[in-house]
């Protein structure tokens, strides 16, 4: 069965993709590197919105060969971040992984039982051994799980998070981060290459909205 090209939110063809892209306002002027007054270079955020996604009941494999049943994992009562990547990706994936690595201490100071799932969209190439090699580049801890699995299962996860990319061609994959405070909360879907500060701020925001009374640890 051929996988048709994705669109961000509706339909299934490239025209829809362009149309929807045209409706999205780029949120950061720095995305175009226009001259700007403050000195912090904003990251390339294109959109951030809440959505509900249900993870499918698929079993993926982590870099140590351990099986992870995704829906059960995501039903645990803890904050979770999900993103998609592949180990031979050269442009955005190492940047995202570095960003996740750099933000984790500040995130942990807000609430430290979070988990990060990086799910490979190139399971043909990304074996657990390759995931381990990739992970060694980044300063990380056991909160970060890299996952691979069967092609169809990965596709089901992409579908569930509305993260399919044009032509089923992984070179067209877009940077997304999905973040939520717990299984009863909606996912914050962030499109773009989020910066470390923005990630911490988004994490603080979803935690705060889930439990406005609580103070950071």
Partner 1 sequence: MNPRSFSLATFFLATVLSASISPPAASESAGDASLGMRLYRDGIRADGSPARATVQDGVALPGAKSGCVNCHRPSGFGSSEGGFYVPPITAPILFEPRRLDRNRLFPNMFEQAQPKGYQARLRQPHMRPGYTEDSLSRALASGIDAAGQPLDPIMPRYVLSDADVANLTAFLRGLSVTPDPGVTAKDLHLATIISADAPASERAAALATMEAYGDWANKRTSGYAGRERYSPYHHSDFADAYRLWRLHVWELRGPRETWRSQLDRFYSEQPVFAVIGGLVSGPFDDVADFCDASRLPCLFPNTDLPRTRNADQGYTFYFSRGLELEGEGLAAFLADAEAKPNAILEIVGSGPSATRPAAAFEHVLRTRRPQARLSVQPLSSVADVRSLSAKIGGEIDTVMIWPGETDDETIVALLAALPKTARILLPSSRTALARDRLTEEQAARVLLAHPHELPGVEHPLSYRVRAWMRTRKLDILEPRLQLQTYYALSLFDAGFGHLNTDFFRDYVIELIEHESEKDMNPGLFPTLTLGPGQRFASGGIYVVRLDPMAKDGVSAVSGWIVP
Q: Which residues of 81-106 are buried (b: 16+ CB within 10 A; e: fewer)?
A: bbbbbbbebeebbebbbebbbbbbeb
CA 50 vs. chain centroid, Å, equals: 14
Contact 187, 163 (CB under 8 A): no
Helices and strands per DSSP (H, E), number in the chain:
6, 8
57: contact with partner 1 by CB under 8 A: no
Q: Among residues 72 and 125, whose Cβ is nearest to partner 1?
A: 125
Binding mask 126-165 for partner 1 (x = CB under 8 A): -x---------xxx----------xx--------------
Q: Among residues 25 and 212, whose Cβ is nearest to partner 1?
A: 25
59: contact with partner 1 by CB under 8 A: no
102: contact with partner 1 by CB under 8 A: yes
37: contact with partner 1 by CB under 8 A: no
Q: Among residues 75 and 172, whose Cβ is nearest to partner 1?
A: 172
Residue from 55, 93, 131, 202 in contact with partner 1 (CB under 8 A):
93
Would you mind telling me the total number of residues written for the chain in this entry? 217
Q: Among residues 109 and 137, whose Cβ is nearest to partner 1?
A: 137
Cite the DSSP H helix spans in the chain.
Answer: 14-23, 70-73, 92-110, 128-135, 151-160, 196-210
Cβ at position 88, least distance to partner 1 in Å: 4
64: contact with partner 1 by CB under 8 A: no
Residue from 166, 186, 205, 209 in contact with partner 1 (CB under 8 A):
166
- Of the candidates 67, 80, 63, the one whose C-alpha atom is nearest the C-alpha of residue 161 is 80
Residue 190, CA distances (Å) to 25, 54, 126, 153, 213 in order: 13, 17, 25, 23, 25
Chain contacts with partner 1 (rule: CB under 8 A) = 2, 5, 14, 17-18, 21-22, 24, 26, 30-36, 40-44, 46, 86, 88-95, 98-99, 102, 122-125, 127, 137-139, 150-151, 166-175, 193, 195-197
């Amino acid at each position: 069965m051929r996988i048709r090209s994705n669109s961000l939110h509706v339909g299934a063809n490239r025209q829809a993709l362009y149309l929807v892209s045209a409706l999205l306002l780029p949120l950061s002027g720095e995305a175009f590197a226009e001259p700007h007054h403050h000195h912090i270079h904003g990251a390339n955020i294109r959109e951030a919105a809440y959505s509900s996604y249900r993870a499918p009941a698929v079993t993926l494999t982590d870099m140590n060969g351990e099986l992870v049943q995704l829906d059960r994992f995501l039903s645990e009562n803890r904050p979770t971040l999900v993103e998609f990547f592949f180990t031979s990706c050269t442009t955005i994936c190492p940047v995202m992984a570095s960003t996740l690595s750099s933000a984790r201490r500040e995130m942990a100071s807000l609430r430290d039982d979070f988990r990060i799932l990086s799910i490979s969209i190139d399971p043909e190439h990304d074996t657990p051994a390759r995931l381990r090699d990739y992970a060694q580049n980044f300063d990380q801890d056991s909160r970060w799980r890299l996952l691979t699995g069967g092609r169809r299962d990965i596709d089901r996860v992409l579908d569930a998070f509305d993260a399919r990319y044009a032509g089923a061609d992984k070179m067209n994959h877009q940077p997304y981060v999905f973040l939520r405070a717990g299984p009863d909360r909606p996912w914050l879907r962030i499109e773009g290459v989020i910066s470390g500060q923005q990630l911490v701020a988004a994490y603080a925001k979803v935690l705060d909205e889930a439990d406005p009374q609580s103070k950071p640890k």
